[in-house]
């Protein structure tokens, strides 16, 4: 099964949430609610980034179940983000990240509570694997953020029955 969604930059996140909840994830019934919440966090970040840059290109979400693994890819044109500005090192395992730390508090205060830094953290807690890459105007992908970045691609996967 493969599903591709193009989410309009002006879409309401509540509508995207309602749509994702309707999708049956055979083999992932137990994890489906957590998967949806993690995807909503990531999609919400993508939509917010695109709106702030006034980009009207749809956010792409591709979901697939293959070889007993749920796969998802989210691609946006929101200009990317600097992982170094997050309140944690994104290469750290989720269980080592303290969301009550001083760094998280400072991050929330610095962004006037508009950003909480939790989207990637939640996805790291739910999925077995998570990779983040960026792309430039020619769609050339890189793992490194720079000001010339046009967007972000997040890929995540979860094996059936994997307990995190």
How do residues 5-20 score in pLDDT, each as one tens digit? Answer: 999 999 999 999 999 9
pLDDT attached to residue 84 = 84
DSSP 3-state assignment of 72?
Answer: strand
Q: How confident is the model at residue 26 (pLDDT cuts 50, 70, 90)?
A: confident
**93 to each of 43, 81, 103, 122, how far by Cα in Å?**
21, 20, 17, 11
Percentage of the residues of the chain whose pLDDT score is greater than 70: 95
What mean pLDDT do residues 80-84 have? 89
CATH code given to domain 2-159: 3.30.565.10
Domain range list for the chain: 2-159
pLDDT of residue 113: 66
Q: Is residue 115 very low, low, confident or very high in pLDDT (cuts 50, 70, 90)?
A: low
Per-chain mean pLDDT for the chain: 89
151-159 sheet: strands from edge to edge: 2-7, 59-66, 69-76, 151-159, 129-135, 141-142
Q: What is the mean pLDDT of residues 48-67?
A: 95
pTM of structure: 0.89
């Amino acid at each position: 099964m493969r599903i591709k969604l193009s989410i309009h930059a002006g879409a309401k996140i509540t509508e995207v949430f309602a749509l994702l909840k309707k999708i049956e994830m055979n083999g992932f019934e137990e994890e489906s609610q957590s998967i949806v919440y993690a995807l909503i966090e990531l999609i919400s970040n993508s939509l917010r980034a695109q709106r702030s840059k006034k980009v009207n290109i749809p956010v792409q979400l591709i979901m697939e179940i293959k070889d007993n693994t749920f796969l998802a890819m989210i691609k946006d044109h929101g200009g990317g983000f600097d992982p170094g500005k997050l309140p944690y090192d994104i290469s750290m395992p989720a269980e080592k990240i303290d969301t009550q730390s001083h760094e998280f508090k400072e991050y929330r205060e610095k962004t006037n509570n508009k950003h909480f830094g939790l989207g990637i953290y939640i996805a790291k807690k739910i999925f077995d694997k998570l990779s983040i890459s960026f792309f430039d105007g020619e769609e050339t992908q890189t793992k490194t953020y720079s000001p010339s970045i046009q967007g972000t691609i997040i890929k995540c996967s979860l094996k059936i029955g994997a307990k995190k």
